[in-house]
Structure 1
Amino acid sequence: MKNILKDKKVAIIGAGPVGLTMARLLQQNGANVNVFERDQDAETRIWGGTLDLHKDSGQIAMKKAGLLEQYYKAALPMGINMADEKGNILSTIEVAPEHQFDNPEINRNDLRTILLKSLNQETVIWNRKSIDLQPVNNQWQLEFENHQHEIADFVIIANGGMSKARNYVTETLVEETGTIIIQGDVEQPEINCPEFFKLCDGKRLMTAHKGTLIVANPFNKESLTYGVIFKKPETEINFQNQKEIRTFLLNQFSDWDKIYKDLILSTHFFVGLPTRKLPLKNLWKQNRPLPITLIGDAAHLMPPFAGQGVNTGLMDALVLSENLTNGQFKNIEEAIQDYEKQMFVYVSEAQRASSENETEMHKSDFSFMKLMEY
């Protein structure tokens, strides 16, 4: 069986769950791999809500990596409370014992810790913000801030949807979808927003009213995290100004119950961003100077409205790693080509579902119960 990675140095740009899973799957097969990450160290907090890995995608990759049981131990099965804008519970979905492992929620840093512990020491090189890469003497030269550089034979780009390193693979540009998400974080929610915390009742809480949606998780380690989703307004929001975000949200929730306004007032940190996508409408470049490809959001950024982002990314890692290590391809280029062919199929379906859900969410009569049925 031919080992197409023999004597090859593999560089993965980005230590998110997809990049780290890719590294784990390759190391299981003896590959020489390093991951380069812009975060200062492993303790850097990853901003964002919890992740849920699906049984038919993300969990398959975790099982292949030998980490599924660790994911189950660290993740929390969660039901859903659907409420109205007045704070009334409309419907509850409980987690039956037989479904507790379907898609439990895990904190992003907890998932990173599981993956990091599975890797060889010194696999991840921290404080490496990628700024460029160039083919030099039949190898890739990776350039980072502070005049640092590394050499690799094969580059896997996994550093997120706004990656600036993908031009060797595709010239398709990221597009805004017309939706804004403002994420909020409340420390010690049982103390700082006790009524909202009680309304969640240990479950994720979802509310929709006149095109504004809120999705909250009361258990993201020691914090309650939530996202407010709405159509992009005509006037710009200064996402660097915490006071301006809070004022905007209070106005957005003006006819909602006080329990939601108290949530906003108790929030200690906001992050706002437009949702974006990298559509797979154009075939990727075939004549690349050296082996290089994209996985995760760097390959197929999509809005988070079908729960597929991290799951399709983990499928990328699974498919690509198998192609690189199963001995069925003559060289890395052929393994990449087959991976990309498969990826275009399953990701196109995920992007379609995400776009359809986004369209539904902007309707004035939208309810999360409709989405569950959909």
Structure 2
Amino acid sequence: MKHSLIKNKKIAIIGGGPVGLTTARILQINGADVTVYERDLNAQARTSGGTLDIHLDSGQKAIEKAALMGEFYKYARPTGEKMTDLHGNITSTEMPDEENAYTRPEIDRNDLRKIMLENLNEHTVVWNSHLTHMEKTGAQYHLEFKNGTTAISDFVIVANGGRSNARKLVTDLEPQLSGTYIIQGEIADPDRDYPEFKPKYGNGNVMAMGEQKMFYTHTLRDGSVHFGVSFKADENWISNNGIDFEDLTAVRVFLNETFKNWSDDYKKFFNAATDFSGLPLRLFSLEDSWKEHSNITLVGDAAHLMPPFAGEGVNMGLFDTYHLTENLTNGKFATIDDAIKDYEEKMFGYALGAQHMTKKMEDLLHSDISSEDILNSRFEV
């Protein structure tokens, strides 16, 4: 009979994103007493953003370990990608063939969250739980939340993103600006507000590069479109160019001026958008080791935040889940700390490699080389 590290342990997961929820699901089906603390008000809070491409050799391993591949296939879909130039011309089309249809399928963020939530025990997720303070007393962690509640845990898995306030118990390092700024927009009804888009570009992803800028779109399962633009922006630009994203007119003026040399095809996105958001992109590098810690670890963006330009962020987070839960349940380790140490050694290797690849893509996508050259480079970095 193998030794169970999670038996009779109260496990707290901080953060109810894809990584935190998948971790909870795997531990729960292995008999763990696990609670997820999520800052969102309730399960109906919409997760903004585009689709996620979940890779066969990393992210899907965790979903398979969670015994939810059947549910995943109900929502995931093979998705093509068109490359375009500044004039809106389609320069290349990449479509997954039958053999590779589910090597990197796309799934909406909300759908992935829905799958996990529907397959957790009732009351696993405690909503409206914004962590404000956590400290270790003896062998246990004491957690305090903004709503005035508290909790005690024997083992903590920190999965609350790149700006995590719980990371400091594992490392004093902080994320650094990557040098790129992204502005995202949503078009709820593109058939009405931008009827020319889908007949020309279809329902797949669209990507364009030029003038050291990038433009992309994702079409969600309900037909709505998420788009984004990114450009180089140092700390001085960020501090000197505040944008009020509640002022749609001001955002459109800024984008139209920034992309003034680009086709009207792109400007129609700006004018049709019903919602904007923006943020400087950050990197939490794994170049430096973490300080000593016990019965606590980091997963996902909390562990290795990286910009989205290689599509590795969520996949590396789910890969964390796969390795960490395997170590906690396979009976090969004497203590939780032994399991954590082995997981972190593996994670520092594969996630650092993903960060290096992401940095190369970030530089390529915001350079002056052609779309065709960038498409080829995506398979060489």
Q: Same fold (TM over 0.5)?
A: yes
What secondary structure does 2:255 align onto? helix
Cα deviation, 1:324-354, whole Å, max 9, x if unaligned, reads 1111111111111111011000001000000
Matched residues in 1 for 2:299 and 2:169: separation?
A: 14
Whether 2:353 is the aligned partner of 1:349: answer yes
Q: Which residue of 2 aligns with 1:158?
A: 159
Give the drift of 1:373.
4.6
Q: Which residue of 2 aligns with 1:280?
A: 286
Matched residues in 1 for 2:145 and 2:319: separation?
A: 28
What secondary structure does 1:170 align onto? coil
What secondary structure does 1:322 align onto? helix
Number of residue-to-residue matches in the alignment? 372
Whether 2:312 is the aligned partner of 1:308: answer yes
Does the 8 Å CA contact 2:28/2:34 hold for their aligned counterparts? yes
Q: Which residue of 2 aligns with 1:217?
A: 218
Give the drift of 1:82.
1.0
Please give the residue correspondences for 1:59-98 in structure 2 after superposition, counting only pairs within 5 Å. 59-98=60-99
Structure-2-length-normalised TM-score = 0.94
Does the 8 Å CA contact 2:128/2:147 hold for their aligned counterparts? no
Matched residues in 2 for 1:132 and 1:33: separation?
A: 19
Percent identical among aligned pairs is 44
Cα deviation, 1:175-195, whole Å, max 9, x if unaligned, reads 001001111100111110112
Residue 346 of structure 1 aligns to which amino acid in structure 2?
Y
Matched residues in 2 for 1:111 and 1:309: separation?
A: 15
- Once structures 1 and 2 are overlaid, which stretch shifts more, 326-335 or 217-226? 217-226
Residue 319 of structure 2 aligns to which amino acid in structure 1?
M
Q: 1:306–1:239: structure 2 CA closer, same or farther, 3 Å change rule?
A: farther
Q: Which residue of 2 aligns with 1:261?
A: 267
Does the 8 Å CA contact 1:54/1:311 hold for their aligned counterparts? yes
Q: Which residue of 2 aligns with 1:318?
A: 322
Cα deviation, 1:114-172, whole Å, max 9, x if unaligned, reads 01111111111111011110123531111100211111111000000000111110111
Give the drift of 1:360.
1.2
Structure-1-length-normalised TM-score = 0.96
Whether 2:26 is the aligned partner of 1:20: answer no
Matched residues in 2 for 1:337 and 1:318: separation?
A: 15
Please give the residue correspondences for 1:32-111 in structure 2 after superposition, counting only pairs within 5 Å. 32-111=33-112
Cα deviation, 1:185-216, whole Å, max 9, x if unaligned, reads 00111110112233321221111121111110
Matched residues in 2 for 1:197 and 1:248: separation?
A: 25
Supply the RMSD in Å over aligned alpha carbons.
1.4
Residue 172 of structure 2 aligns to which amino acid in structure 1?
E
Matched residues in 1 for 2:329 and 2:273: separation?
A: 47
Q: 1:240–1:203: structure 2 CA closer, same or farther, 3 Å change rule?
A: closer
Matched residues in 1 for 2:189 and 2:203: separation?
A: 14
What secondary structure does 2:56 align onto? coil
Matched residues in 2 for 1:189 and 1:132: separation?
A: 43
What secondary structure does 1:350 align onto? helix
Residue 285 of structure 2 aligns to which amino acid in structure 1?
P
Does the 8 Å CA contact 1:189/1:218 hold for their aligned counterparts? no
Cα deviation, 1:197-252, whole Å, max 9, x if unaligned, reads 33321221111121111110123534100110111163413254433322111111
Does the 8 Å CA contact 2:53/2:107 hold for their aligned counterparts? yes
Q: Which residue of 1 aligns with 2:242?
A: 237
Gaps of 5+ in 2: none
